Chains A and B, each alone.
Chain A
Amino acid sequence: MAKVLIPTPLRQYADKKDSVELQGTTVGEVLTALTSQYGDLRKQLYNDEGKLRSFVNVYLNDEDIRYLNKDRTPVQDSDTLSIVPSIAGGRYAR
């Protein structure tokens, strides 16, 4: 099973676990298993259209899945998935 690391603020939606191990042969399958098991996580990760929120990125080990095969990226039992937000900003545009 692949391991998914849960960011601190989201652990309240995952039985306070810092990681969970889930079945799945692709990134998409693992994420579906994650949000099926922990329904409250879905609202945090996905928008109303069912797409990952704009600030949510998923890494397979050290690689952004956008530069692999996105949701269809194959996952091995030894792999770790991380949920990493995009963060930026600046003082202009008040």
Chain B
Amino acid sequence: MIKIEAAAWRVMVDHARATYPNECCGAMLGTAQGDSKTVVAAVPLENAFHGEQGARYELRQEDLLWSDAEARRKGMDLLGIFHSHPDCDAYFSKTDLENSCPWYSFVVISVKQGRFDHANSFLPDPDQTHAVNEELSYEVSEVIHG
């Protein structure tokens, strides 16, 4: 399961809302014990997809490299990636699956009409053919959805 602390969750949702109607993306840093992950910090990253970003995102590898280094500097781990789905549900699309990596959790945030709607987390397989749902919990503060 993956648990996201309030400060990190706020950063993720704020980033998803700020980039609406485009997709956002970013990295999740924290600690892991076995399959139990706790996200302590979220790092908003630039959507590097060349083209219409309302339905696509792409992470720069250099940004991931930097995120991993940042996690190490803070004594944390790079646990996963988040991105948003503007005006549709938080499913793991075929495009998401075919461009995923099995090493990380993938949190998808649904933003509808510019407001947070719901979120899910997924764990893709190494062959990029299947992803399972990962139990997701997040701490919400009042200011997030205002």
Contact = CB atoms under 8 A, between A and B. Distances in A.
A90 B61 contact: no
Contacts of B62: 62
B117 interface: no
A44 interface: yes
Contacts of A93: 93-95
A89 B103 contact: no
| B55, B62, B103, most chain A CB atoms within 10 A | B103
Interface in B46-103: 49, 55-59, 61-62, 64-65, 68, 71-72, 77-79, 81, 83, 85-86, 88, 91, 93-97, 99-103
Interface string A64-91: 1000000000000000001011111111
Determine the interface band of chain A, counting residues with CB < 8 A from chain B: 20 to 34
A14 to B, nearest CB: 13
B99 A87 contact: yes
B128 interface: yes
B95 A85 contact: no
Contacts, number: 96
A89 B93 contact: yes
Interface in B30-49: 32, 49
> Sorted from nearest, which 9 A-B pairs have the closest CB atoms?
A89-B96, A90-B56, A85-B101, A9-B103, A8-B77, A88-B99, A88-B58, A93-B94, A91-B85
Interface of A: 5, 7-10, 18, 43-44, 53-55, 57, 59, 62, 64, 82, 84-94
21 contacts: A8-B103, A44-B103, A55-B99, A59-B61, A64-B61, A82-B65, A85-B61, A85-B64, A85-B104, A87-B99, A87-B101, A88-B56, A89-B93, A89-B95, A90-B49, A90-B56, A90-B95, A91-B55, A91-B88, A92-B95, A93-B95
